[in-house]
Amino acid sequence: MIRIALAQQYPFETDTFPGGVHTAGYYLARGLQARDDVDVRVLTVSGQAPGDMDRVDDGLRVRFLSEPRVRIIPNMSRNIICLTQELREMNPDIVNGNLVIYAVASLRAGLPTVFTVHGVIHKEAQVWTHPLDRLRYKLYMKYDREAMSKVKHVIATSPYVVKEYEGRTDAKFHVIDNCIDERFFSVSNKEEPDRLLYGGLVYDRKNVLGLLEISRRLIETRPGLKLRIAGKIADQEYYERCLAFVKENGMQGNVDFLGQTTVEIMMEELSRATMLLLPSKQETAPLVISEALGAGKPVVASTAGGIANLVRDGETGYVADWRDNDRFTECIDRLLGDDYLRAKMGEAAREEAIERFSKESVAAQTVKVYREALSGK
């Protein structure tokens, strides 16, 4: 039996997930926990934990390290130091570091390490404009280079990751999709006419303002259109700009900001939506797309990053450059006006999702990587 430390983001409140990385980590842990050939523990850093603590979630052992609000050194650097110490004490057979800080900590602890890459850091850094964000990503890229220079096995959540990193590391790449909550596969179709759904954080990288402009154009011919925006406010100033746009264009009756939602609410929103929209400027393997496909909903998304690996253009949805509002508007309007096309795409989406995104399938592929890494290959 392999003793595994999943060093990763893990939700402190397991009915509400802050983002896709937390969600993917949670269901990977569940998939591994269900196997009889591994013993898995989770190690995570959380700003919600009141202090360092251990918890058992339905049999899954989770160690939370509290992240302080007042700090002398950047949390990123502090977290690596604390994680390194914890991993040495745990002394597992192998560590799966999901995200850079966890991979760096494992490598510094001298443990066999598999690094799962959920985001292409040097690409994400280009999107940020605020000086503090640029400084944060400069540090992030430093640790990213350290991890890639030392690790021997990388799990890429999209072929896009391989394309962007293969010249920056000698590690062997293994492409494995993120897994999702299998309840999405059973979401019933209760779609309401002209009802659209966006899922994700509200900030510039997700291009929510662009989505609002696309919606404004659609409302000209579809005055009853509803846009539901489900996601945590990640940038208050940007959110205020979104609200101002809605007010200036008289869209208050068409746009609803739902804030951060539970898994159950998101499944209900998908059930009632005609499709999912995601016009992001940068993405790697957004979990919300996998969830929408699993729920049998077509997706209209940007061509950014690894999205084309998830959405088959013309078969399970459409993709367009995030700057091309005309193309986005045209594709959404086409789907809204064709019930048969939506149903056909939704059926194809669900069939593919069941094959690709189940936690059993992803866990099985992941354990194969662990065994290969431990064999020294």
CATH number at residue 290: 3.40.50.2000
Give the span between the Cα atoms of 165 and 178, in whole angstroms.
18
Tokens 């983001």 found at = 9
Same domain, 12 and 59: yes
What is the domain extent for residue 35? Answer: 2-179+358-374
Same domain, 282 and 209: yes
> Minimal CA–CA distance to 7: which of 156, 116, 110?
116
Same domain, 175 and 306: no
Q: In this predicted structure, what is the pLDDT of residue 275?
A: 98
* Alpha carbon 201 to its chain's center: 10
Pair 42, 90: CB distance under 8 Å: no
DSSP 254: T
Give the span between the Cα atoms of 247 and 226, in whole angstroms.
15
Same domain, 332 and 250: yes
Tokens 């997700």 found at = 206
CB atoms within 10 A of CB 202: 22
Same domain, 209 and 320: yes
3-state secondary structure of 187: coil
Q: How many domains does the chain have?
A: 2
Same domain, 70 and 195: no
Same domain, 23 and 94: yes
Same domain, 291 and 254: yes
Same domain, 148 and 205: no
Rounded to the nearest 10 degrees, the angle between the axes of helix 131-150 and helix 75-90 is 30
Same domain, 232 and 305: yes
Produce one character per residue of 30-42: b if its CB has 16 or more CB atoms within 10 Å, e if not: bbbbebeebbbbb
Q: What are phi and psi of 313, to 5 degrees?
A: -60, 125
Same domain, 152 and 171: yes
Pair 6, 32: CB distance under 8 Å: yes
Same domain, 348 and 368: no
Average pLDDT per 10 consecutive residues for the chain, totaling 377 residues: 96 82 92 96 93 94 87 76 97 96 97 93 76 80 94 96 91 95 96 97 96 98 98 94 98 96 94 98 94 98 95 97 98 98 98 94 96 89
Angle CA(139)–CA(140)–CA(143) in degrees, nearest 5? Answer: 90
* Alpha carbon 65 to its chain's center: 22
Q: In this predicted structure, what is the pLDDT of residue 68?
A: 78
Q: In this predicted structure, what is the pLDDT of residue 93?
A: 98
